[in-house]
Amino acid sequence: GSFAAEITEFAIAAGHAVQGLIELMNPQRVGSTIHDLTVIGIDDLPEGGGRTVIAAGSNRLETWSRLAERGWLAAQIVHPAAIVGPSAEIGEGTIIAPGVVIGAQTRIGSSVLVGRGTLIGHHITIGDGATINPGANIGGNTTIGNQAAIGMGAVIVNGTTVGSRATVAAGAVVVRDVEPGERVQGVPARPYDHRKQSSEQVAP
């Protein structure tokens, strides 16, 4: 999709040679050319062919298991316009976009996507497969669980925990712990039922 163009440019800026795109969902794209790159299906990849990153989707960890079965390894993209503290650790398959600032003693897991302009403070742990959307501000001594999603411009205050697979809506301000799988929104952030909201939006 269109996000692949952005990640491709991030990868090139980070010094990688981009060979092609892997299609996970739409078989009609396989064999086409998108963003001047050949599109191949995940099941058509040769075994042990190289390194990849997974740019989008909520199931990146599951996709990685499929790639690992075929002997593919994870690449890491850290854009040169990002500022990463020398004591910070970044896992394999993780993408760090331009304008990101990562503080001291912070650990970012594998297959994490950190969007443009995100501020990540000191002594933070971000779990595998998490998505941190552009402009989020994560305070020090916080924990973001595996496959959690932090919305654009959200604020996570110091010392709080966002549980695994939890969702923080865009612009929310998290001032207390968010339970695993919980969805929160607003200022301050409170739980909400996204299914109820969806039905209300389509109600006559």
Residues with a known catalytic role: 122
As a whole number of angstroms, the distance between CA 65 and CA 142 comes to 28
Helix spans in 16-136 (H): 60-69
- Using CA atoms, how far apart are residues 31 and 44, in angstroms rounded to an integer? 11
CA angle 68, 98, 87 (to 5 degrees): 70
**47 torsion bin: left (phi>0), alpha (psi -120 to 50), beta (else):** beta
- Please state the φ and ψ torsions of residue 194, each to the nearest 5 degrees: -65, -25
DSSP state of 69: H
Instruction: Determine how β-strand 173-174 pairs with β-strand 155-156.
Output: parallel
The answer to whether the CB of 160 falls within 8 A of the CB of 176 is yes
Strand 21-23: give its sheet, edge to edge: 21-23, 37-41, 33-34
